[in-house]
Structure 1
Amino acid sequence: MAEIALGHVQREYPNKPDHVLTGPEDLCSPRALHPVFFGSFDWHSCVHGHWMLARLLRRYPAMPAAPQVRALFDALYTEVAVATERAYLDRPHAGGFERPYGWAWLLMLAAELARLEGSAWGKVLAPLAEAFAERFRAWLPKATYPVRSGTHTCSAFALTLAVEYAADHDPALLDLLREAAQAWFGADTACQAWEPSGEDFLSPALTEAACMRRLLSPPDFAAWFDRFLPHLGEGDPATLFRPAAVSDRSDGRIVHLDGLNLSRAWCWRLLSDHWPADDRRRMRAEAAAEGHLAASLPYLAHDYMGEHWLATFAVLAMDV
């Protein structure tokens, strides 16, 4: 997986145009605008590709790709490059840049780099992480309603990822994440799970449950979850237990469904340890996680449309 990620973050594929053109100064290459996070299909894919490399480096410091990862990070994580990334956020009309998906992944990356002993990468990235944390702090109090999608705008996914950074570095942000989760999802009951949609890479239902698992106390989560999915022990809603079928892995949107299978596996694994080992809900959750992994894990490098991001979701699912 490290080799897959190294390949996609180093390719010279242009980033998608996520910024608004306000003048000639905006007509620059992705590498000039984003000297740390360039070279993948889009900015956020490069960010979570870095997160995956950092996680694997921490978990497997002697892996064959480790010297390449360290050399890559040494070259990219410089104060000048991070300052350029930070300056991009001050451009006109950049307030919504990568909200909330890219914000959350950047915080995940910052949390992971900070855990790597013997490196300065986390310290170098810290000013950019703080800038995105401040964006969360400004946005959450005015985000009256959540976005319940299965794609990049999913509010529950952003909260779930941001917890890792907030828990280690920002208690005030952690409080805001809890408040937002409770305000958005606290009253939800009897989830119908009308999914998947044709371009989902996240399960709106399971991602919401994973979010509440991370942000509520165990007793509060148990009470909430029993209301949210009251018939899970009977295998209902059945759609949550069935891996999605992927008809064309060269189609950049249809291949999202491989990501759905991997992210569902992640959610099922996060949720499964909530129950005792002999609880049928735990057994169903563990079986569902394995089934979803088996459906998409063999296809991480099938086509660049999936290759540039799916390995990240595989690591998310397999290293809960």
Structure 2
Amino acid sequence: GWVPTISGADDLVIDYETAERLANLPLTCYNQEFPHKFGITYNGIEELKSPHAEDKVAVEMEVFRQEHNKIFERTYGWAWFLKLHDELEQNPQNQERGWSRILQPMADLLVQNYQNFLPSLAYPIRAGEHPNTAFGLIFAYEYAQKHDLEELADLIAFNATGHFQSDVDCPLNWEPSGSDFLSPCLQEAELMGKLSDLDQPDEFNEWFQKFLPNLFDPDFILEPGHVIDRTDGKLVHLDGVNFSRAWNLYSLIKTLPKNDTMNRAKFLSLGDEHIRESMEFVVGSDYAGAHWLASFLFYALQVREHALEDMFTY
């Protein structure tokens, strides 16, 4: 049978996103604002040291190439894999261990999958779960920029602009849906912020305030998602939406003008509030959430650190 190159969960994309966080764990497992310690062990990355690792990658690639698997992990798993590959490249042990080299063929295949798929996407997928188009494009765009993949970067920018540039008044007050782990409105805002020219922020900020006027309304309250039953694999998604909302808000801080200290502080505070709502349930809670929430939390804390660097750098 097929054994994933990186394993440790019963869900391939969970393996990718968990490995991505563990590849960067020293940067994300401690935070002054949230000084919790997490007793997490994970050996998935170690499997890349196996003499059979490259053979496993080849088998995994064949799974993705099969005609009936064209939609397999599209685009959620694709995005997490590219993020994993990017993090492994930055890991201090990568040069010695060759992790990113082993996974490069799979990364190249998924880049090609994006390039094949996006021209056919007539409408964006705005769901708050795995198929969300904006989420799938953010990590892919970052990967394309870091690896000078101009064709992919241009395709993502063209796709996102066509789908999202004319959007206004996103109904943030309708969120979250009962099983969301992503915020459709905030994911879209983060994507468009990534695509914007931060040296000339006025154009994006004009779009941003028309797209999410509620977020700039002092009287609007963005309440964290509330989970009643953490043994339910769908309902526990709302812990995830709290973490993903947090990283959206932290990421958007750098798109705001440097002198907009009020909204910068507001976005930071809102993100922190969302993390506090669900942080205590990451470890020691039911498997329904415990097997994936740590990756969301660690990523949110990493983005928070970058946001703080931006807030206090002039």
Work out the CA distance in 2 between the residues paired with 1:278 and 1:182: 26
The percent identity for this pair of structures is: 36
Work out the CA distance in 2 between the residues paired with 1:230 and 1:113: 38
**1:207 counterpart (184, 187, 190):** 187
Partner of 1:279: 261
Q: Is the 1:36–1:77 Cα contact (8 Å) retained in structure 2?
A: no
Instruction: Provide the TM-score with structure 1 as the length reference.
Output: 0.83
Q: Is the 1:192–1:237 Cα contact (8 Å) retained in structure 2?
A: no
Work out the CA distance in 2 between the residues paired with 1:144 and 1:282: 35
Q: SS of the counterpart of 1:33?
A: coil
User: CA-atom RMSD, angstroms?
Assistant: 2.3
Partner of 1:43: 12
Provide closer, same or farther for how the CA distance between residues 188 and 44 of structure 1 changes in structure 2, counting only shifts above 3 A: same
Partner of 2:24: 55
* Correspondence 1:53-202 to 2 at 5 A: 53-56=22-25, 71-75=46-50, 78-117=53-92, 118=95, 119-169=97-147, 170-193=149-172, 194-202=174-182
Partner of 1:226: 209
Q: Is the 2:214–2:220 Cα contact (8 Å) retained in structure 1?
A: yes
Work out the CA distance in 2 between the residues paired with 1:309 and 1:135: 25
**Residue type at the aligned position of 2:289:** G
Stretch of structure 1 that moved more, 276-285 or 246-255:
276-285
Query: Per-residue displacement from partner, 1:45-70 (whole Å, max 9, x unpaired)?
Result: 1111110111215778xx99899676
Work out the CA distance in 2 between the residues paired with 1:151 and 1:35: 23
Partner of 1:250: 231
**Residue type at the aligned position of 1:313:** F
Tell me the CA shift for residue 141 of structure 1.
1.1
Work out the CA distance in 1 between the residues paired with 2:44 and 2:232: 29
Tell me the CA shift for residue 162 of structure 1.
1.2
Work out the CA distance in 2 between the residues paired with 1:79 and 1:140: 28
Provide closer, same or farther for how the CA distance between residues 180 and 237 of structure 1 changes in structure 2, counting only shifts above 3 A: farther
**Residue type at the aligned position of 2:140:** A
Stretch of structure 1 that moved more, 87-96 or 63-72:
63-72
Query: Per-residue displacement from partner, 1:15-49 (whole Å, max 9, x unpaired)?
Result: xxxxxxxxxxxxxxxxx324314441311111111
Long gaps (5+) in structure 2? 30-37, 304-314
Tell me the CA shift for residue 140 of structure 1.
0.7
Q: How many residues align?
A: 285
Work out the CA distance in 2 between the residues paired with 1:67 and 1:200: 26
Partner of 1:6: none
Partner of 1:9: none
Q: Is the 2:19–2:44 Cα contact (8 Å) retained in structure 1?
A: no
Q: SS of the counterpart of 1:189?
A: coil
Instruction: Provide the TM-score with structure 2 as the length reference.
Output: 0.84
Q: Is the 1:200–1:260 Cα contact (8 Å) retained in structure 2?
A: yes
Q: Is the 1:202–1:264 Cα contact (8 Å) retained in structure 2?
A: yes
Q: SS of the counterpart of 2:241?
A: helix
**Residue type at the aligned position of 1:268:** L
Work out the CA distance in 2 between the residues paired with 1:216 and 1:158: 17
